[in-house]
Amino acid sequence: MALRIALAGKGGSGKTTLSALLCRSLMEQGIKPLLAVDADPNSCLGERLGVNVERTIGQVREDLRAEPDKVPAGMSKSEWIERLITEEIAESIGFDLIAMGRQEGPDCYCYINNLLRSCLGKMGDQYKAVVIDNEAGLEHLSRRTDGRVEIMLVICEPNLLGARTAMRITELMRSLELDIGHAYIVLNRCRGEVPSEVSAMLDQTGLEVLACVPDDPTVATMELEQTSLLDIAPDAPAAAAVDALLTSLRERGEA
Indicate whether 178 belongs to any domain.
Answer: yes
Percent of the chain scored above 70 by pLDDT?
87
Indicate whether 13 belongs to any domain.
Answer: yes
Indicate whether 69 belongs to any domain.
Answer: no
Helix axes 217-224, 237-251, angle to 10 degrees: 110
Parent domain of 185: 3-52+126-251
Indicate whether 27 belongs to any domain.
Answer: yes
Count of structural domains within the chain: 1
Indicate whether 79 belongs to any domain.
Answer: no
* 45 pLDDT tier (thresholds 50, 70, 90): very high
Strand arrangement, sheet containing 90-92? 90-92, 95-99, 34-39, 129-134, 3-8, 149-156, 180-190, 208-214
All residues at 6 or more sequence positions from 128 whose CB lies less than 8 Å from its CB, including other chains: 2, 3, 31, 32, 33, 34
Indicate whether 80 belongs to any domain.
Answer: no
Domain containing residue 152: CATH number: 3.40.50.300
pLDDT at 108: 56
Per residue in 151-177, pLDDT (tens digit) is 999 999 999 999 999 999 898 888 877
Q: Which residue has the higher pLDDT, 90 or 240?
A: 240
